[in-house]
Structure 1
Amino acid sequence: MEYQRALSSSISRKSLDISGIYPPICTPYNHDESITFDKLEYNMKKWNQIPFKGYVVQGSNAEWCFQSWDERVQVVRETARLAAPGRVIMAGSGCESTRDTIRMCKDMSEAGAHALLVVNPFYFKDNMTSDALVAHFTAVADHSPLPIVMYNVPRNTGVDIPVDAVVKLAQHHNIIGIKDSGGDITRIASIVFATASSDFQVLAGSAGFLLAAYNVGCVGGICALANVLGEETCRLADLAQSNDLKAAMDLQLRLVGPNSCVTKRFGVPGLKTSMEWFGYYGGPPRSPLQSLSDNQVQAIKSEFQKSFFL
């Protein structure tokens, strides 16, 4: 923990390199839906053996929207304590109001984070114009003690942060990047191109388009599939930056089916189910999410088998 705090204190805004692969880690629950920190430690010991750049804590796969304020902060604190030395802790800090987001950023900083992943407000989505989002992220970045990584996940929020807003916000000294989970490679390429002079880092939000994202200038990925196939996701990142295009393409194609199962097809319950097959603790989701039916479990297993991971 002291090492992690020292890393935080040495970070001066845009100097933080966030390139690489991050699993957006799941929150392990007991069957009574309480958080089981011993299982978090169990999973972290295994993840610490994989060459991740760091961990995203309280991203979408953590089910943060079902947690209390204190739970969100406590999971970050424990993950920072358990992480291998040198791993970047990126903490999900988005809230619906600007003032709560600022307060959460400060609490996550004290819990041991090094960077903050901030999803856009979305409840009043029709009012989340480019101007409103620029005002929100600017205020958050102005007051945050740590660098901000914006989080664009339109499938969950119903809001696609406009490219013009991203480009404007990329000029802020305390906004260092964006995780884009939309899967629109043209949009991602446009952001990379338009922010090239702003020392701005773009991360792919899924292993399903990781190779394409690297090919248009992304520096890494925050990938749900890395919870399960961490070595393989890191391997794809390495291949994407090598001259072995065929090996990169072959691995990318094998990852597409399993990735789809643990993201848009079956979501967090699918991810947690598949974790169990690879020696991790997945456990149940927190309600209202429901565990999968036997038929759904078999559908996921079939995709992993077809891709030769099981």
Structure 2
Amino acid sequence: MNLEGVLVPVVTPFDTEGKVDYSALGKLLDHLIEAGVRGIVACGTTGEYYTFVGEERRTVMAYIADRVGDKALLIAGVNDTYTAGSVAKAEEAKALGYQALMLAPPIYCLPQETEIIQHYKTVSAEAEMPIIMYNFPARSGVEISVEAVIELSADKNIVGIKESSGDFSRALSLINAGMKDFEVICGSDDQAADYLFWGVRSWIGGAANYLPAEHVQLIECAKDGDFNRVREIMQRILPVIKNQESADYNQKAKLGCAHTGFPVGAVRAPLLPISSEDEAGFIAALKLAIG
């Protein structure tokens, strides 16, 4: 599967009553596609999927699939606390027309390496869909070892890994492992230029919700071999990306959308709005990024 380009883990807009704001979601999706993103990731962490209740998840996923159609690659986040839960979510995504899955190890239970490997192999066998592994030990509590990634890359359905560990030495080990028909995807936004320099051409980043054109430009400049331009763009947007990654990631993703013309409401509890001081710092960095 070709995963080249910017894949956006889209935020979920909420209205003043805390309900999903589908009108705002539609406008944001249209904007992202017009900016040239390659794909949309539904129900990623940036989309606050963990707050969905009842039929919200299915309704949000169905809306995204219908709105996006064949204009971008449709990827469904299918994280759960247990393997059968991820399988069920994968089957739902497949029925709704999604083309790929993004999957982290089960959270909280801290599976061992053999259990992580079996988790992915089971979802692969049951869902029969392309899977992007998601390595973010700060959230899941465990790391998918380099050795496990190499083993799993031999599975015909496991097509890549979003690498969000922040350890670029580890990323280099993956990039240079020579895995066939398998893509290492930038998942550490502040290291995007480093990934691009080493040949990576796929990026899943939450800041693309409010800086989609800049993300696309970075990929295109790297494809053209214009690394002077890559450096120029990255220098401009790096302060706001680092600010977002320092704390309150989801809150700032939504602030970024609002301040670039796409209001998407607040986050849901347990997350809370950030302080006026932190908001001012983020917006100042954002203004430098967008000129």
Kept after mapping to 1: 8 A contact 2:15/2:264: no
Please list, as runs of the form range in 1=range in 2, the aligned pairs for 1:207-246 lying within 5 A after superposition: 207-246=189-228
Kept after mapping to 2: 8 A contact 1:224/1:263: no
Q: Structure 1-normalised TM-score?
A: 0.89
How far does the alpha carbon of each residue in 1:54-104 deviate from its partner, in whole angstroms, 9 at most, with x for none?
111111100111113632222121111111634101110111111111111
Q: Does 1:110 find its partner at 2:95?
A: yes
Partner residue of 2:123 out of 126, 140, 145? 140
Identity %: 24
- The list of structure 1 runs, each at least 4 consecutive aligned residues, that deviate by more than 3 angstroms after superposition, is none
How far does the alpha carbon of each residue in 1:231-262 deviate from its partner, in whole angstroms, 9 at most, with x for none?
01110111122232221112112221111233
Q: Which secondary structure does the structure 2 equivalent of 1:48 belong to?
A: helix
Partner residue of 1:264 out of 231, 246, 255? 246
Please list, as runs of the form range in 1=range in 2, the aligned pairs for 1:146-161 lying within 5 A after superposition: 146-161=129-144
- Name the Cα RMSD after superposition: 1.5
Q: Does 1:171 find its partner at 2:154?
A: yes
Aligned to 2:274: 292
Kept after mapping to 2: 8 A contact 1:208/1:255: no
C-alpha change, 1:308 and 1:124, in structure 2 (3 Å) is closer
Q: Report the number of matched residues.
A: 291
- What amino acid sits opposite 2:290 in the alignment? F
Gapped regions of structure 2 (runs ≥ 5): none
Structure 2 CA distance, aligned partners of 1:151 and 1:70? 25
Structure 1 CA distance, aligned partners of 2:83 and 2:229? 45
Kept after mapping to 1: 8 A contact 2:7/2:41: yes
Kept after mapping to 1: 8 A contact 2:187/2:205: yes
How far does the alpha carbon of each residue in 1:2-41 deviate from its partner, in whole angstroms, 9 at most, with x for none?
xxxxxxxxxxxxxx21111011100011122211111111
C-alpha change, 1:129 and 1:216, in structure 2 (3 Å) is farther
Kept after mapping to 2: 8 A contact 1:149/1:177: yes
- What amino acid sits opposite 1:21 in the alignment? V
Aligned to 2:35: 50
Kept after mapping to 2: 8 A contact 1:261/1:271: no
Q: Cα offset for 1:308?
A: 4.4
Kept after mapping to 2: 8 A contact 1:205/1:222: yes
Kept after mapping to 1: 8 A contact 2:185/2:200: yes
Structure 1 CA distance, aligned partners of 2:186 and 2:33? 21
Q: Structure 2-normalised TM-score?
A: 0.95
Kept after mapping to 1: 8 A contact 2:12/2:25: yes
Q: Which secondary structure does the structure 1 equivalent of 2:125 belong to?
A: helix
| Residue range with higher mean Cα deviation, 63-72 or 229-238 | 63-72
Structure 1 CA distance, aligned partners of 2:17 and 2:71? 34
Please list, as runs of the form range in 1=range in 2, the aligned pairs for 1:64-213 lying within 5 A after superposition: 64-68=49-53, 70-83=55-68, 85-125=70-110, 128-194=111-177, 196-213=178-195
Structure 2 CA distance, aligned partners of 1:263 and 1:109? 32
